[in-house]
Amino acid sequence: MAVETLLKTMPRYQPRKGEEYMSPRQKTHFRTILEKLKQELSQDIDRTVHTMQDEATIFADPNDRATQESDIALELRNRDRERKLIKKIDETIGKIDADEYGYCESCGIEIGLERLEARPTASLCIDCKTLEELREKQVAK
């Protein structure tokens, strides 16, 4: 996935000794990451639309048609997930602007730089996220 590749290529944030959590420098770093992610996702969506328009072929063979429709459905599902991620990125940038970024929505503690490096749109600390996943798992059974 393009998002994971982009996150791996971005330089990791190196906090200065005694630096306050979510300092302006840290917020700038994460804003840059989020904006690059959004730009990359938008470009992927545009490429997909153009590719689908260019490759729109009507196959006589039902099997070829079914394969094409399956491929298109998969692409559309992926693009829908990316569209939702873009929305979440926009919300996260809004949190940076409101000085709410980097703190757990559930308990209010610091999410942590390493978790934010791995998932810049994280809104829960690792403990609250683990509890949420356990609840989801129990409900699904």
**pLDDT above 60 for 1:** no
Percent of the chain having pLDDT more than 90?
57
Which pLDDT does position 66 carry in this prediction?
A: 84
Q: What is the pLDDT of residues 91-119, one digit of tens each?
A: 999 999 999 999 999 999 999 999 999 99
Cα separation, 11 vs 9, in Å, equals 6
Cα separation, 104 vs 111, in Å, equals 6
Residue 53: partners with Cβ closer than 8 Å, 6 or more residues away: none
**pTM summary value:** 0.81
**pLDDT above 70 for 55:** no
CA distances from 38 to 34, 65, 71, 95 (A): 6, 33, 24, 15
Q: Which amino acid is it at 102?
A: G
